[in-house]
Structure 1
């Protein structure tokens, strides 16, 4: 006879790698969530803010009330870069931008979300949050033997954080990709403010955001899994990075040269 207390049927033991964290490359109201890829050692640390509530009734024992909560995160991320531009992955660039010498005030703040991301089965719908953070980084591997480039990243909570619905849609859901962006009307090419462009690609169904140089589209409509029609927001003429966000992830940016 087993001495173990049985677990409920249909349960499974969690694993250390079953978490994800994303950084916001857009705005708070129109986020463009980019998963931080190749992470390890993810450690969230919720921290209570307390105030002394001790009275004579406590007979000398401590008594503190919790008046608020903040959260800090620490994790490692492998550093991959483009062999063409030399730039790091956009999520790493976003993290490092908050540590630039001119990153002060709100320019030093990172918007991030984190969530349970299981290997199999349903994700915990309540195990997810979003908050603002200041950033510190340390280069982890600095030896002469060619170790993998890794950043140790510390996110320090700034103010309270929010509970959110877990955004993880599962491993079988594929992130969107963009193959081309063109003016919807050949007579207005390139398109400018208030004009429509057609975005073609794959896995575009359920798009939650379309941005042009991190500026939200004035409006957009998902025509099919391969087509979105979007209205260009107000901006100057030039090359803009077009990004589509769905519950499955964020597309790689594709450039479009627009009119004013």
Structure 2
């Protein structure tokens, strides 16, 4: 195994949305991402007792995760439709119950081992801007349930 010598880039991530069902997944790329920030912070509770002799102790009691992604809104050349993946995220943001959730996966685009999958709730925020700005959306994909490490789908 060689020693790593190259810097990893922030643009390492790809995001796919399941446009199919759980039984028959249809993973499609979310295009035109300009910013991508995954997080999975643990919830740590103070579990210090007198027995720790003054040293604080903590216990992990839960974990949350989310992805914040900003992307350029993509429309067809005749301006009659948007990207189907963008539309799936937008319509899910209006849903309730099962209609408010969508499976996603995100992974290193070069096939490195970092890859995850889970189900999210979607917050959809158009970013506005002046007359020179591109139409952008900030989507917050809040995990509901576990974030599961997976085999990277682009690994050879």
**5 Å matches for 1:74-113?**
74-84=68-78, 86-100=80-94, 103-113=95-105
2:128 corresponds to which residue? 141
Counterpart contact for 2:69–2:139, Cα < 8 Å: yes
Instruction: Say whether residues 1:117 and 2:109 are aligned partners.
Output: yes
- Partners of 2:70 and 2:4 in 1: how far apart? 32
**5 Å matches for 1:162-181?**
162-169=148-155
Unmatched 5+ stretches in structure 1: 1-7, 171-260
Q: Which structure shows the bigger proportion of residues in helix conformation?
A: 2
Instruction: Say whether residues 1:66 and 2:66 are aligned partners.
Output: no
Higher relative contact order (CA 8 A, sep 6+): 2
Counterpart contact for 1:39–1:75, Cα < 8 Å: yes
Counting matched residue pairs gives 155
**1:186-216 deviation line (CA, Å, top 9, x unaligned):** xxxxxxxxxxxxxxxxxxxxxxxxxxxxxxx
Deviation, structure 1 residue 67: 3.3
- Partners of 1:46 and 1:69 in 2: how far apart? 7
**1:123-161 deviation line (CA, Å, top 9, x unaligned):** 222x00001111112112332x23211101111111211
Secondary structure of the corresponding residue to residue 89 of structure 2: helix
TM-score (norm 2): 0.88
Larger radius of gyration: 1
Aligned-pair Cα RMSD in Å? 2.0
- Partners of 2:99 and 2:21 in 1: how far apart? 12
